A and B are shown apart, each in its own frame.
Chain A
Amino acid sequence: GQSLEQPSEVTAVEGAIVQINCTYQTSGFYGLSWYQQHDGGAPTFLSYNGLDGLEETGRFSSFLSRSDSYGYLLLQELQMKDSASYFCAVRVGMDSSYKLIFGSGTRLLVRP
């Protein structure tokens, strides 16, 4: 079967750096994505890694190691507005029929 594992909760201080890990067990892997969801809202796309290495988008970076079935999201210069849930997601299957599955999410609490 398919599974993604993330820590359930992380707490950090404003201005700090936090890393949210994701390990996955899937077949037909086609990349790892990260999404942010504020309470009561819809998830919004943050980043995508199709190949090994680091992708940087402003304060957010994401890393992928396909050999280790592992990735992480790195949030720098944390702000209060970053308090939200973060989900890793993987695309599995083939181009003609694939699905997008999500981890259980990591709730990030940023303290002053």
Chain B
Amino acid sequence: DGGITQSPKYLFRKEGQNVTLSCEQNLNHDAMYWYRQDPGQGLRLIYYSQIVNDFQKGDIAEGYSVSREKKESFPLTVTSAQKNPTAFYLCASTRTGGLNTEAFFGQGTRLTVV
């Protein structure tokens, strides 16, 4: 079955550590996105990528980094520069052709700083 897989589901980070969240899709989608969701809040765009080896900053990119070396994969690194990283992180993908931009989401990674 096609879909998006995020791992791990739960992640604990110590102060000053970098951590990487995995996102893999087998939907053959060109576009991939990372969103951050805080409790009771909406989805805020961190980074997005339309094509391999290219990505753009979203609204809250500071303290995060990404790579897009393969079409299927779009890992997100939360660096020590991100001062308040505790949140729910969601990865999504869409087709790039056509107007309907139905986004498919992974099940999310819940990151907690300890």
Interface residues of A (CB under 8 A from B): 30-31, 33, 35, 41-45, 48, 50, 87, 89, 91, 95-105, 107
Contact = CB atoms under 8 A, between A and B. Distances in A.
11 contacts: A42-B106, A43-B90, A48-B101, A87-B42, A97-B56, A98-B31, A99-B48, A100-B94, A100-B103, A101-B45, A104-B42
Interface of B: 31, 33, 35, 40-45, 48, 50, 56, 58-59, 90, 92, 94, 96-97, 99-108
A42 B105 contact: yes
Nearest to B92: A100
A30 B42 contact: no
Given A31-B101, A91-B99, A100-B103, 5 more contacts: A31-B99, A43-B103, A87-B43, A98-B50, A100-B48
Contact of A104 (B41, B90, B100): B41
Identify whether the interface residues of A are mostly helix, strand, loop, or mixed.
strand
A100 B107 contact: no
A102 B35 contact: yes
Contacts of A96: 50
A48 B98 CA distance: 12
Contacts of A45: 102-104
B99 A100 contact: no
Contact of B105 (A33, A44, A91, A98): A44
Given A41-B107, A95-B96, A100-B92, A33 B41 contact: no
